[in-house]
């Protein structure tokens, strides 16, 4: 298994980093932080397939963990001495994770960085909002978003991503701790737009996969134009900057989500229209539901997102859905 070696930056402040979640992205975050020279602990739960695989072999389908990483199922041990907590779990269980964290551990003085892209279905809240409900101060919370696949990073293919936060100093510090030639970070200045855009791009990934499955990939251009436009409308209604929809958190992430062979959401959509089950996490399925509810509540027109939700819940034939969507575009533009 080929792993890229990150060039050492001896001027970088070294921190104690704990990653919560042993899946594809969580294991990468641990590998990446260790490669930067940070002291890293990776936490997972006994019985979870991803944790047990790493415990037994020290590797998964994507990478081999450096020996310097401590792998543990003891949450208190994992969190106790950490300066930075990076959370990478399915978005719909984030509230449960926060409940466990705050009931068992002292998070005072620690940064918490969310590394997943989703909206809570039951409340319509962004994940940073959920974190703040548990007593964290705004300066503690940051969001890591933007394009990139583990399979590309571990062989040395670089990309650009974005860090956003409620506090500008937090954004600057997190970037200072994690920047490298492998990942160039941009400074976010609209946490609402960053979180909504990052979550919503997964819904567009499902549509893109559906187009691939029906040999209609040429329509992805129309999808990108209309998709970013409806997401911009929602961001504006929520008080964010609509231009964020055209940045790295959303439109800038389309290549990795709408076209890449590694995109779970694109693969889920392609499998759906072909009648093949995709058994890995595709956050866009839950995000479509959350955003459709939110759009209805706020009166925001989001035809693509709502149609994906209807397709999944009401089993509307995918080709019928695509015909309805793209006939509409001829009449109404974007």
CATH of the domain at 284: 1.10.1040.10
- Is 222 part of any domain? yes
Q: Please, what's the b/e burial string for 83-101 (b: 16 or more CB within 10 A of its CB; e: otherwise)?
A: bbbbbbbebbebbebbeeb
Which parts of the chain fold into alpha helices (H)? 24-35, 49-57, 75-80, 94-104, 127-133, 150-153, 168-178, 191-213, 220-237, 254, 264-273, 283-298, 303-314, 318-332
- Is 3 part of any domain? no
The Cα–Cα gap between 214 and 264 comes to 17
Answer yes or no: are the C-beta atoms of 79 and 85 closer than 8 Å.
yes
* Catalytic choice (15, 110, 125, 201): 201
**What is the pLDDT, as a whole number, of residue 330?**
47
The Cα–Cα gap between 100 and 89 comes to 13
Q: Among residues 187, 202, 233, which one ends one of the domains?
A: 187
Q: Among residues 187, 210, 236, which one ends one of the domains?
A: 187
Examine the domain organization and report whether 114 and 263 are in the same domain: no
Domain encompassing residue 235: 192-332
Token pair listed for 217? 């990939």
The Cα–Cα gap between 270 and 207 comes to 8
Examine the domain organization and report whether 176 and 242 are in the same domain: no
Provide the CATH number for the domain around residue 171: 3.40.50.720
Residue 157: helix, strand or coil by DSSP? Answer: coil
Helix (H) or strand (E) holding 112: strand 111-114
Active site residue 104: no
- Is 10 part of any domain? no
**What is the pLDDT, as a whole number, of residue 323?**
77
Examine the domain organization and report whether 98 and 113 are in the same domain: yes
Answer yes or no: are the C-beta atoms of 23 and 17 closer than 8 Å.
no
Q: Is the pTM of this model over 0.75?
A: yes
Q: Sign of the CA dihedral 282, 250, 165, 160? A: positive
**What is the pLDDT, as a whole number, of residue 319?**
81
Residue ranges in the chain modelled with pLDDT below 70:
1-3, 328-334
């Amino acid at each position: 298994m080929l792993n890229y070696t990150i060039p050492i930056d001896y001027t970088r402040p070294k921190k104690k980093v704990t990653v919560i979640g042993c899946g594809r992205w969580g294991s990468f975050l641990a590998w990446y932080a260790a490669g930067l020279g940070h002291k890293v602990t990776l936490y997972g739960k006994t019985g979870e397939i991803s944790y047990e695989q790493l415990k037994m072999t020290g590797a998964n389908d994507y990478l081999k963990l450096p020996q310097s990483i401590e792998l543990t199922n003891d949450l208190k041990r994992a969190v106790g001495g950490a300066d930075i907590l990076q959370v990478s779990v399915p978005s719909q269980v984030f509230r449960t994770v926060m409940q466990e964290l705050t009931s068992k551990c002292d998070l005072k003085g620690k940064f918490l960085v969310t590394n997943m892209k989703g909206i809570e279905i039951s409340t319509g809240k962004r994940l940073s909002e959920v974190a703040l409900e548990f007593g964290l101060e705004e300066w503690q919370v940051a969001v890591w978003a933007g394009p990139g696949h583990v399979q590309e990073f571990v062989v040395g293919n670089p990309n650009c991503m974005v860090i956003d936060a409620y506090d500008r100093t937090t954004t600057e510090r997190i970037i200072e701790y994690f920047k490298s030639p492998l990942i160039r970070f941009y400074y976010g200045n609209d946490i609402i737009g960053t979180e909504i855009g990052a979550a919503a791009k997964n819904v567009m990934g499902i549509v893109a996969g559906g187009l691939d499955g029906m040999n209609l990939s040429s329509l992805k251009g129309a999808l990108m134009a209309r998709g970013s436009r409806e997401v911009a409308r929602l961001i504006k209604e929520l008080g964010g900057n609509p231009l964020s929809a055209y940045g790295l958190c959303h439109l800038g992430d389309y290549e990795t989500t709408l076209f890449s062979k590694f995109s779970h959401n694109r693969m889920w959509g392609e499998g759906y229209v072909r009648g093949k089950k995709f058994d890995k996490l595709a956050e866009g399925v839950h995000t479509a539901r959350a955003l459709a509810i939110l759009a209805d509540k706020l009166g925001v027109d989001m035809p693509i997102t709502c149609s994906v939700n209807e397709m999944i819940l009401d089993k509307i034939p995918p080709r019928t859905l695509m015909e309805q969507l793209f006939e509409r575009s001829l009449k109404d533009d974007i």
